Amino acid sequence: MTDSASGPDASTTAPTAQPADRPVYVIGGGPGGLAAAQALRARGIRAVVLERSDRVGSSWRRHYDRLRLHTTRRLSGLPGLPMPRRFGRWVSRDDVVRYLERYAEHHRLEIVTGVEVSRVERAPDGTGWLLHATGGRELTGGAVVVATGHNHTPRLPDWPGREAYTDASGELLHASEYRNAKPYAGRDVLVVGVGNTGAEIAVDLVEGGASRVRLSVRTAPHIVRRSTAGWAAQHTGIAVRRLPVGLVDVLARPLARLSVPDLSAHGLPRPGTGLYSRVREGSIPVQDVGLVDAVRKGAVEVVAAVDGFENGKVLLADGTRVQPDAVIAATGYVRALEGLVGHLGVLDSRGRPVVHGARTPKDAPGLYFTGFTNPISGMLRELAIDAERIARAIAKADAREDGRRVSRLPA
C-alpha cells in the first residue's frame, strides 16, 4: 500500500508508459474503489487506487457520529473479506472506517493518497486513458474505474436571501458538517430535507437536548421499518429489485399501512407515488430509526419546504416565517463528474453516468463507473457485485487483446 503521492505510481507519465505497463487506475478510495481494486487484483490485474485525501474511506469519516448502516453486516461486506461479527448487525460509522482500512491492508492494495484526478481523456495513441492529476501529473492507464462516490460534493440550494442570512451571522450549514447534537443543546434547530440523513439528524437533535426541532419537508417520503420481526428491509429490497415497478408499488402499499402509522395529521401524509417508482426516480425510502415516534410525540415538528431567507428569518412555502437558532440543510449531494468526464459524452442530463458496473460507454471503451446509483438492495452490496463484474469485463477485454491492454501482477 502506497501512503502518499510520492510513490512510483504518482510519477507515471503518458510518454513512457507502454500498453503492457499500464495499470487500471481506480479513482476514489472509498468502498467502491477498494472493492474494484481487489477484484482486479484477484484476477492478476494491476490496479492502482488514486485517493485525493490522505486516507481511504474519507467520505465515511465525515459522516455524523450516530450513523449506522441501514443494511445488515452480512450483506455489506466487500469481496474477499467479510465484516467481523463483533461489529453487530447494524454497523457503526467508525466500524465501517475500520473495516475499509483493514480491507486495504488485508488485500495489499496499491493505493496512492493525496492525488486528485481532475480530467480523464483518451490517451494520444488511442489504446488507453490519460489522467490529469495533482501537480501536473499525467498518468496513463489501460482502463479506468471511476468510483468517486454518490455523495461527492455537498449540495446547498441557492435559496433567495441565503448569502445575506449567513453574512448576518445566521447559522446555516450543510448536513455534511454536522457531527452530533452537542453544539445544539437547548437551541431551536430547523432541519431541511427528509431523506435518511435529515430524518436521523432530527432524531439525534431531539435526543441530544435541542429545545425545538423542526423538519422542513417538500415532498413526503415513503417510510419503512429498518427491521420488522427480525426481517431487514434490505432483504425485501433484494427480493423485489428485479420485479416490475408497478407490481412492487402495489405490494408495498398494504405493507406500509401495516408497519408504519399514518402521520398525515402530523404533516407527513402517505405519498401518492408508489414506493418503487420513487426509488427509480432516485428517492430511497426513509428507514425509521426513531423519526415516526418523534413525529407522533411532537418532538419533531414537520413544517413546509424552505423558499428562502429574509430579515434573519426562514421563509417557508406555506407563507410562514420561522426564526431558528440554526438551519441544517440535509439537501443531498451532487456527483460533480462534469469536469472529470463530462467532455466524453458519458453523462446524462442530471450529471449521472449513462452506464455503470460492467457496461462501458459505447464511445469510451475501458471507462467504468461504480457507486453512482442508490439501490434499494443496499449500496455496499451492489458495490461488491459491481466490482466483480467490472473486473471480469476488464479481464475479458484484455484477453481479447492477448494481454496487451493492462499490466499484470507478477505471478
* CATH code, domain carrying 305: 3.50.50.60
Q: 304 and 351 in one domain?
A: no
CA distances from 344 to 198, 355, 375 (A): 35, 13, 25
Q: 318 and 182 in one domain?
A: yes
- The confidence score (pLDDT) of residue 152 equals 86
- Which secondary structure element, helix H or strand E, spans residue 196, and what is its range? helix 196-207
Residue 19 has pLDDT above 70, yes or no: no
Q: 178 and 102 in one domain?
A: no
- For residue range 386-406, what is the model confidence (pLDDT) as tens digits? 999 999 999 999 888 777 788
Rounded CA separation 49/221 (Å) = 37
- The confidence score (pLDDT) of residue 157 equals 96
Q: 205 and 147 in one domain?
A: no
Kindly give the pairing relationship between strand 212-216 and strand 188-192. Answer: parallel
Rounded CA separation 146/120 (Å) = 10
Q: Are the C-beta atoms of residues 214 and 300 closer than 8 Å to each other?
A: yes
- The confidence score (pLDDT) of residue 347 equals 96
Rounded CA separation 30/59 (Å) = 7
Cα 79 to chain centroid, rounded:
19
SS3 of 107, please?
A: coil
- The confidence score (pLDDT) of residue 1 equals 56
Residue 296 falls inside a structural domain: yes
Q: 217 and 361 in one domain?
A: no
Rounded CA separation 229/227 (Å) = 7
Rounded CA separation 329/323 (Å) = 15
SS3 of 404, please?
A: coil
Q: 178 and 140 in one domain?
A: no
Rounded CA separation 104/110 (Å) = 8
Residue 245's pLDDT band, with cuts at 50, 70 and 90, is: very high
Residue 142's nearest CA partner among 126, 154, 157 is 126
Q: Which residues pair with 316 in a beta bridge?
A: 306
What mean pLDDT comes out for the span 228-251?
92
Kindly give the pairing relationship between strand 227-228 and strand 153-154. Answer: unpaired
Q: 183 and 305 in one domain?
A: yes
What mean pLDDT comes out for the span 56-74?
95
From 300, 329, 358, give the residue that closes a domain: 329
Q: 160 and 146 in one domain?
A: no
From 278, 297, 329, give the residue that closes a domain: 329
Q: Residue 50's domain spans which residues? A: 8-152+335-400
Q: Which residues pair with 49 in a beta bridge?
A: 26, 111
- Which secondary structure element, helix H or strand E, spans residue 139, and what is its range? strand 137-141
Mean pLDDT of the chain: 92
What mean pLDDT comes out for the span 183-197?
97
Residue 342 falls inside a structural domain: yes
Q: 211 and 352 in one domain?
A: no
Residue 2 falls inside a structural domain: no
What mean pLDDT comes out for the span 353-373?
94
Residue written as cell 485525501? 53
| Sheet with 129-133, side-by-side order of all strands | 117-122, 129-133, 137-141
Grid coordinates representing 9 are 505510481
Residue 280's pLDDT band, with cuts at 50, 70 and 90, is: confident
CA distances from 216 to 66, 304, 320, 330, 409 (A): 21, 5, 12, 10, 53
Residue 348 falls inside a structural domain: yes
Rounded CA separation 276/284 (Å) = 9
Task: For the beta carbon of residue 381, count every other beta carbon within 10 angstroms.
Answer: 20
Q: How many domains does the chain have?
A: 2
Residue 407 falls inside a structural domain: no
- The confidence score (pLDDT) of residue 228 equals 87
H runs (alpha helix) in 53-111 = 58-61, 93-106
Q: 353 and 206 in one domain?
A: no
What mean pLDDT comes out for the span 40-58?
96
Residue 217 falls inside a structural domain: yes
Residue 167 has pLDDT above 90, yes or no: no
- The confidence score (pLDDT) of residue 20 equals 56
Q: 310 and 352 in one domain?
A: no
Rounded CA separation 377/160 (Å) = 37
Weakest-pLDDT range from 19-23, 122-126, 304-308, 382-386 = 19-23
Task: For the beta carbon of residue 7, count every other beta carbon within 10 angstroms.
Answer: 18
- The confidence score (pLDDT) of residue 18 equals 53
SS3 of 403, please?
A: coil
Rounded CA separation 235/221 (Å) = 20
Give DSSP secondary structure letters for 148-169. Answer: --SS-EE-----TTHHHHHHTT
Residue 411's pLDDT band, with cuts at 50, 70 and 90, is: low
Residue 408 falls inside a structural domain: no
From 301, 329, 357, give the residue that closes a domain: 329
Q: 208 and 135 in one domain?
A: no
Residue 409 falls inside a structural domain: no
pLDDT, greater one: 159 or 5? 159
Residue 263's pLDDT band, with cuts at 50, 70 and 90, is: very high
- For residue 45, how many C-alpha atoms fall within 13 Å in the half-sphere facing its CB? 32
